Structure 1
């Protein structure tokens, strides 16, 4: 398969947390997914969950070359190694992203302005506020638990 472009966004609010995912491939293939969490997540954790959900979807579809667009400067800079992940939860997410990224022949994560990520943003808001049985025009699932185990001890090297 050729290169694929992935647009992701995560949202967390008082009604819940979720992600919006848009996967665009060769030959005008388009997959949109809205994923609601059955657990509480901070906004930054939701952004990482969005990225990981997209990477899993791309991997399941056999994608080899992946360009990911995210409006989260924190996540994109942490993955690029420009920002440290000082929060232990985000450090676990970063480690998971790095492990998954190595499964692709090519993995590029770029920061885009929020206005260039509006469709993924809309899907993430849909997921974070969704009541069941609504909005069946896109693939919609629930994520029962976080992608990383928060309670595990982690060794930090300076």
Structure 2
């Protein structure tokens, strides 16, 4: 059964690898995050968030990733490929860069914890 063939009352059973694209941004006008979640059939689900607290651009990038991972987890997606629009966040999560700032270390730890909740997450 494919995801888009569900009948009313049937449980949602995600199949295949899903993709998450995130982009966070911060400016003097405010901070926000954009998410695109793509199912295995190529259907895109887009989200735009306004962050209601001051943060740096890198923190906004991490916030976008965390929100995306939380959404996918709630949907019980088993396999996920996540792409972030931040070389710093990607390299910190992949252990290629060291997270030195306490806030970046906390974000990295949160992301790594969320990633463990998937059958497969890269």
Question: TM-score category by the smaller chain?
Answer: 0.7 to 0.9
Equivalent residue, structure 2, for 1:33: 47
CA distance in 2, matches of 1:27, 1:90: 34
**TM-score normalized by the length of structure 1:** 0.67
Q: Secondary structure at the match of 1:68?
A: strand
CA distance in 1, matches of 2:78, 2:106: 24
**TM-score normalized by the length of structure 2:** 0.85
Q: Secondary structure at the match of 1:90?
A: helix
Equivalent in 44, 49, 53 of residue 67 of structure 2:
53
Equivalent residue, structure 2, for 1:3: 17
Unaligned runs of 5+ in 1: 109-158
Equivalenced residues, count: 108
Equivalent residue, structure 2, for 1:98: 112
1:40-119 map, 5 Å? 40-108=54-122
The structural deviation recorded for 1:8 is 0.3
> RMSD in angstroms over aligned alpha carbons?
0.8
